[in-house]
Amino acid sequence: MPDAESDRSGLERVWHDLGVLGLDFSLDTSPPELAQLNVGTTGGLLSVAGRRLGLIGAELLASADDQATMLADQTQDLVNEELGPAGVTWPSCPRHPHHPMVVVSTGEAGETAWWACPADQAIQVPIGQLVHQPFP
Ligand SMILES: [Zn+2]
């Protein structure tokens, strides 16, 4: 029986997790650049406060967990590359705030995509379940 988490799309999960930063993110799901993405892709052009960060995308046919893994990985790269110099670490590790967590997937059907501490994989949060993390 599917739980509430598996009913949420990968994009919804990543969007929830971006929300913990409290920044003004937006996603244009039909930008001209979407032609760069393959047909059958979910995603779009990610911006923050009107500043374009880049395209994120995952195959529509992929499972929600796989979509979450792909989109979280791409979004993390964009956010930390573009906003890192301003002091953003996303998502910061709950135990070690100086480093970001990394995307891990258990890889088995029906299991979940996670954020994990790179130093201690016992510290994990499912993608889509981050808690509020104020902007410094
Ligand atoms: Zn850590």
Could you list the mean pLDDT of each consecutive 10-residue stretch along the chain, which spans 136 residues?
64 95 92 70 91 92 90 97 94 91 74 88 91 60
pTM for this model (two decimals): 0.87
pLDDT computed for residue 72 by the predictor: 97
Any idea where the domains of the chain sit in the sequence?
4-126
pLDDT computed for residue 1 by the predictor: 39
Tell me what pLDDT residue 42 has.
Answer: 87
> How far apart are the C-alpha atoms of 117 and 57, rounded to whole Å?
24
Q: Which pLDDT does position 78 carry in this prediction?
A: 97
pLDDT of 40 reads: 79
Phi, psi of 77 (to 5 degrees): -60, -45
CA of 101 to the centre of ligand 1 (A): 7
Ion ligand 1: protein residues whose beta carbon lies under 5 Å? 93, 95-96, 117, 119
Distance between first and last Cα of the chain: 40
For residues 102 and 122, give the distance between their C-alpha atoms in angstroms, rounded to a whole number. 12
Spatial contact of 92 and 132, defined as CB atoms under 8 Å apart? no
**C-alpha 53 to ligand 1 mean position (Å):** 26
Question: Which pLDDT value is given to residue 132?
Answer: 72
Cα–ligand 1 centroid distance for 34 (angstroms) = 35
| Measured CA angle at 124 (ends 121, 126), to 5 deg | 140
Distance (Å) from CA 132 to ligand 1 centroid:
17
Query: How many Å apart are CA 13 and CA 8, to the nearest integer?
Result: 7
> What is the CA(117)–ligand 1 centre distance, in A?
4
Ligand 1: centre distance to CA 98 (Å): 8
Q: What pLDDT shows up at residue 35?
A: 67
Give the DSSP H or E segment for 28: strand 25-28
